[in-house]
Amino acid sequence: MKAFVVEKYGKDGARAAEVPEPTVGDRDVLVRVSASSINPLDKMVRDGEFKQLLKYKPPFTLGHDVAGVVTRVGPAVHGFEVGDEVYARPRDLRIGGFAEFIAIDMDDVAPKPASLTLQEAAAVPLVALAAWQVLVDRADVKPGQKVLVHAGAGGLGSTVIQLAKHLGATVATTANTRSEELVRSLGADVVVDYTKEDFSKVLSGYDLVLDSLGGANLEKSLTVLKPGGLAISVVGPPDAGFAKQLGAPSFIAAVMSFLSRKVRKQAKALGVRYQFLFMEANGSQLRELGALYDSGKLRPVIDSTFPFDRTLEAMAHVEQGRTKAGKVVVSMVPGND
C-alpha cells in the first residue's frame, strides 16, 4: 500500500513509499483510510522532537488523525463491524493516518459522527480530544468561568472556543483582523486582535489559559490569570507530568521538570499554575464528542483539502503558516483539491 513515511528525522525526512499492509492484532480494527488531517504534532514527530520519549523506529508512517471504513476486525474486537464508518486518533507509537490502511486498537476508535462527512470527521479527533482533555479532564471548566484561548481561528483554538462555550464559560481569544468574524461565530465573547493589541494589557481575572504558541506568549499568559488560575500549554515546555504520562523513567521526569522550571517559577510567583498537555488517544471521549458534533454544539473548521498524493504539500502548507483558519485535510477521494 502507499504511505507517507518518516525515513529519517528532519525536515526532509518524509517521503512517499510502498509499505506492507498492517498486521491486524486481536484487538485491532483495520480501517481503509478515507481522509486524514495535518497537525503540528506531525511536524514535531517527523523532526524527532520527542524521540527520547516516543521511540519511533524509522521508517514509520506519519499521521495522527484518521477517518475511514472498517475492513477487518480482530477476534477480540467488539462494537465494530466491517463496513462501519469510524474516526480515531491512534495512540502514540501506532500512528499512521497518512496511508491507505491503518490498524488501530479498538479502544482508540469511535463511530464517525453521523452529521459529518468522512473528510470533515478527519479534521476532528486530535483537536477535539485535546480540547476535551484541557477543558474537562484538566481544568474541569464550570459555567461562568473565564477561559482565554490563543489562536482561536486555528484547528485547536476553534474547537476549544466551541467546547468552552458549551460548558458555559465566557471565552476570550486572540485572532487577527480577518478572523474576528469567524471566532465570534464560534462563540468567542471577547476577541483581541493581536495585530493591534497586547492581550496581557486588556485581559485579567481568567480561570484558564490555553497556550499553543509558547515562549513569551506563555509567560504573558500567566499574568492574565486570577490567583489559583491555570495555564496549559500544548507546545511546552514539557513538565514531569508528561514523563509520568508516558511511563518514562525518573531521570526523564527530572529532565522534564528542569525544562519547565522557569515557567513554573514564574507561575508560582504570580500565585498561578502551569501544566503541559500532550493529548492521549481515547475512543470513549470521541464518542461523547461525536454526540456534540451531531447535536450542532460543535462543528469542524476546515481551511483546505489536499488529495492524498499531495500529503507532503499539505504538511508544507501548514508549516509555512499559509492556513487561514481551521484544519488542512488530506483526502483519498479523487477531486478534492
The answer to whether position 240 is within a domain reads yes
Helices and strands of the chain, counted as H and E runs: 12, 16
The answer to whether position 236 is within a domain reads yes
Please report, in tens digits, the pLDDT of each residue of the chain (337 residues total): 999 999 999 999 999 999 999 999 999 999 999 999 999 999 999 999 988 888 899 999 999 999 999 999 999 999 999 999 999 999 999 999 999 999 999 999 999 999 999 999 999 999 999 999 999 999 999 999 999 999 999 999 999 999 999 999 999 999 999 999 999 999 999 999 999 999 999 999 999 999 999 999 999 999 999 999 999 999 989 898 888 887 878 888 898 899 899 999 999 999 999 999 999 999 999 999 999 999 999 999 999 999 999 999 999 999 998 999 999 999 998 654 4
Task: Say yes or no: 83 and 213 in one domain.
Answer: no
Task: Say yes or no: 130 and 263 in one domain.
Answer: yes
Distance between the two ends of the chain, CA-based, in angstroms? Answer: 22
The answer to whether position 282 is within a domain reads no
Candidates 47, 39, 265, 306; CA nearest to 156 is 39
- Stated pTM of the model: 0.96
Q: What CA–CA distance (Å, rounded) separates 218 from 223?
A: 9
**What is the residue range of 157's domain?**
126-276
The answer to whether position 294 is within a domain reads no
The answer to whether position 286 is within a domain reads no
**Looking at the DSSP assignment, which residues form a beta bridge with residue 231?**
209, 274
The answer to whether position 293 is within a domain reads no
Tell me the CATH number at 239. 3.40.50.720
Tell me the CATH number at 112. 3.90.180.10
The answer to whether position 288 is within a domain reads no
| DSSP one-letter code for 54 | S
How many structural domains is the chain composed of? 2
